[in-house]
Amino acid sequence: MLDVWREEGDAVDYVPFPEPGGLLLWATSNSGDYFFWRTWSKSPDDWSVVVMGENSDWSEYAVGAVDFLAAIFRKDFTIPGMPRNFPSDNPEVVVLWP
């Protein structure tokens, strides 16, 4: 998927994992948003979160996935391209694999 976006010029300067600093997908939304880790360090604890919104808005956050999700649910920051009501007042996290 990231390769296709790169070919179409929509991936900004991001590269897919396993390239150095590549993006590794860890979540998607029902609205077509993608959430990646940017694997810039050998330690996954250092990886930042990159979001590609459904409108091809890219943003990067210098926090890990858990801190990112906590900040989103606390409404500490907004993500460009996300709906104004994201997250809703009653957000739900759904795990799609066992």
Segment 16-59, tens digit of pLDDT? 888 889 999 998 887 788 899 999 999 999 999 999 877 778 88
User: Is residue 38 a part of any domain in this protein?
Assistant: yes
pTM of the model: 0.78
User: Is residue 95 a part of any domain in this protein?
Assistant: no
Containing domain of residue 49, as a range? Answer: 2-74
User: Is residue 83 a part of any domain in this protein?
Assistant: no
User: Is residue 63 a part of any domain in this protein?
Assistant: yes
Gyration radius (Cα) of the chain, Å: 13
User: Is residue 55 a part of any domain in this protein?
Assistant: yes
User: Is residue 79 a part of any domain in this protein?
Assistant: no
Q: In the sheet that 48-52 helps form, which strands lie side by side, from edge to edge? A: 23-28, 34-38, 48-52, 58-61
* pLDDT confidence tier of residue 3, bands split at 50, 70 and 90: low
- Alpha-carbon distance of 56 to 66, in angstroms, equals 23
User: Is residue 98 a part of any domain in this protein?
Assistant: no
- Give the pLDDT confidence of 53-67 residue by residue, as tens digits: 777 788 899 999 999
Mean pLDDT score, 89-96: 75
Total domain count, the chain: 1
